[in-house]
Structure formats: C-alpha cells, structure tokens
Amino acid sequence: MLQFVAGLITFTDDQRLAGDVTGNGTVSALDASFILQFQANLLGKCSITMMMMCSTNSDCPSGETCVEHFPVADKCGSDWVFVPDPTIVPNQTLVQPVTGGASCQQGAIVYDPASPPVEGQDFIGILFGDVTGNWTPPGP
C-alpha cells in the first residue's frame, strides 16, 4: 500500500478498490494505517452500540461482541465488493462499484429490456483491505 502511495508500484483498478478501506475514493497512507490497525486487532467496535472501540469481546458491554470492519465496509454494508465480469450480451449495462462519495454503489449487471436466461454472468469478489488477492478463510 505504501509503495503504491509513494508511486513506486502501480495498482490495478481492483487493487485500488480493495485498498480504499476509508471509502473516500482514493488510496492513501490513511488506508494503509487502517489496514495495519485491522491486522493488529485495533479497529474493532462493539456490535450493538458501534460507538465503543474494542480489541476483544471483553472490551464491550455484556451481550456485545467486538466486530472489526473498515469504514468502507460499514458504508457498503459488506466486507466485500463485487465487480461485474460477465459474458457480454445485447441490452446489457455493467455498473462498476464505486466507494467514494456519500454512499457506496455496488457492482451490477443490468438488462434493459430484460433478457431470457443468459449463461456466463459472473462477478469478481474483492475483499476490502486485500490488495494482494491472497486472502484465505480462517481455519477451524
């Protein structure tokens, strides 16, 4: 992230989308800072009040859990964003996800008019904060 911010490497559009964890439409040192906080379990908020910072469940009032999300995940309602990657067909419009601005726009595939069933309509899932694309789910 910091190499990108310093201009030493380039990111693809998908990497920029993953790296914009603040949800302001740009990738900056602040985004890198949030990712480091997330890795160190310092980005959590208590699940119900969402006002109280936490790093473990014991930091929260009884009945609440410590939940870690990037600001963009709160804005978009998900830790993931999906980029359309379909087979192109007539009357199809691709809506690219956008995180900058007041709200989050999710990716979509729109047909106007509606078409009969079409094969090969797919999305690429991008996990916010994972600019390398090497995320694996936690083990049992």
pLDDT attached to residue 136: 79
What confidence category does residue 134 fall into, taking pLDDT thresholds of 50, 70 and 90? confident
pLDDT digits (tens, 9 = 90+) for 3-59: 999 999 999 999 999 999 999 999 999 999 999 988 887 888 887 766 678 888 888
Domain spans of the chain?
2-127
pLDDT digits (tens, 9 = 90+) for 59-88: 888 888 888 889 899 899 999 999 999 999
Contacts of 11 (CB under 8 A, 6+ apart): 4, 19, 27, 131
Amino acid symbol at 111 = Y
d(CA 132, CA 35): 13
Burial profile 25-55: b = 16 or more Cβ within 10 angstroms, e = fewer: eebbeebbebbebbeeeebbbbbeeeeeebe
pLDDT attached to residue 50: 65
